[in-house]
Amino acid sequence: KGKLGFLVVALLLVLVAAGCGQDSSDGQTGSGEGNGSGEATQKLVVGTDAAYAPFEYVEPSGDIAGFDIDILSAIAEEENLELDFQNTAWEGIFLALQNGERDVLISAVTITEERQQDMDFTDSYFEATQLIAVPADSDIESFADLEGKKVGVQTGTTGDIAVSGLLGATSNDINRYESTPVALMEMVNQGIDAVVADNVVILEYIKNNPDANFKSIHDDSFDVENYGIVVKKGNTELLDTLNSGLAKIKENGKYDEIYSKYFGEEPGEE
Ligand code: ARG
């Protein structure tokens, strides 16, 4: 009888342990086939906020896909790295890197001096800028016109930083959302006058949601931004590997191939 009790307890412990390992169930493994030497070197847990088409999004099948996913997968193939993509909320994404829950972030993350204090970025793999989305009948014509208006942003993004600069970080007129699509979706419902976010993501949303009837406004006062892949500060070995892979795919045409798959033209051609 005592033995049976022990077995039940042991079985329960095994089940609990298995359950603990399960919180990564939305994970997705892509392996770099590399040079075919068959030696998977490193399995990297990759954080991405997959609500950011076309850079990262969840397909109907549940798979995470997008430009960023293809770029990092191509790098992994060159460098024989194994990847495990994990959908990671933007608001906790940098913390997840700090505390080791993620080894790498690729999430259309803009390289900024402030972020460089806390983490390391690869070379730029994409150039972006902010763009303003407004209802098609809006009279807003420029960034400066946002003064006195209600503006939606994704919390802690460079869009948030830009709007905070204009309206003041504590302004009641800034409405912060957990994701950029939610901000855009809520623009009409919540009486917001404009949303400021990365240009390509706004254009993609407008293209995919013609019924929303939004238009976009470009403003020269927005900085040029560069996206980098992120690793923990001081992880120079991984940083060098990623930079080496990035250089290779830029060199061998793989980058251009992925770029035209998503954007229909080669980088640099307008
Ligand atoms: N590029 C902007 C930034 O770094 C926004 C990135 C948001 N990315 C995402 N996957 N939600 O702040």
Q: What is the mean pLDDT of residues 180-194?
A: 92
Angstrom distance (rounded) from CA 126 to CA 256: 12
* Burial class of 173 by CB neighbour count within 10 A (0 to 12, 13 to 18, 19+): middle
- pLDDT tens across 191-247, in order? 899 999 999 999 999 999 999 999 999 999 999 999 999 999 999 999 999 999 999
Asked if residue 88 has its Cβ within 6 Å of ligand 1, the reply is: no
Ligand 1 centroid–CA 164 distance in Å is 16
Q: Is the pLDDT confidence value at 25 over 50? A: no
Does the predicted TM-score (pTM) go above 0.90?
no
Q: How far apart are CA 125 and CA 120, in angstroms?
A: 14
Q: Which atom of ligand 1 is nearest to the CA of 115?
A: 4
Calculate mean pLDDT across residues 141-155. 98
More confident: 40 or 178: 178
* pLDDT for res 229: 99
DSSP 110: B
Beta bridge partners of 133: 195, 216
Nearest to 76 by CA among 114, 37, 41: 41
Give, using CA atoms, the residue closest to atom 12 of ligand 1: 157
Beta bridge partners, 233, equal none
Tally Cβ neighbours within 10 Å of residue 226: 16
What's the farthest any 2 CA atoms get from each other in the chain? 79
Closest CA to 71 of 120, 43, 100, 104: 104
C-beta of residue 84 within 8 angstroms of C-beta of residue 102: no
Q: What is the DSSP string of 3-55?
A: HHHHHHHHHHHHHHHHHHGGGGTT-EEEE--TTS------EEEEEE--EETTT
User: 142 CA to middle of ligand 1, Å?
Assistant: 22
129 residue type, one letter: T
Tokens of 102: 């993620």
Query: Ligand 1 pocket, 80 CB below 6 A?
Result: no
Q: What is the CA(247)–ligand 1 centre distance, in A?
A: 23
The best mutation among 91, 107, 119, 161 to test binding of ligand 1, ranked by most ligand atoms within 8 Å of the C-beta, falls on 107
Q: Does ipTM come in above 0.95?
A: yes
Q: Which helix (H) or strand (E) holds 147?
A: none
Is there an atom of ligand 1 within 6 Å of 158 CB? yes
Q: What is the pLDDT of residues 87-128, one digit of tens each?
A: 999 999 999 999 999 999 999 999 999 999 999 999 999 999
52 pocket-lining for ligand 1 (C-beta < 6 Å): yes
DSSP string, 183-214: HHHHHHHTT--EEEEEHHHHHHHHHH-GGG-E
Closest-lying ligand 1 atom to the alpha carbon of residue 158: 12
Q: Is the dihedral of CA 4, 9, 10, 14 positive or negative?
A: positive
110 in contact with ligand 1, CB cutoff 6 A: yes
Q: How do 194-198 and 130-135 pair as beta strands? A: antiparallel
Q: What is the total residue count of the chain? A: 270
DSSP strand pairing (151-154 vs 194-198): parallel
Task: Tell me, in angstroms, the distance from the centre of ligand 1 to residue 174's CA.
Answer: 17
> Which of the four pLDDT bands, split at 50, 70 and 90, describes residue 6?
low
Please give the share of the chain, as a percent, with pLDDT higher than 90: 80
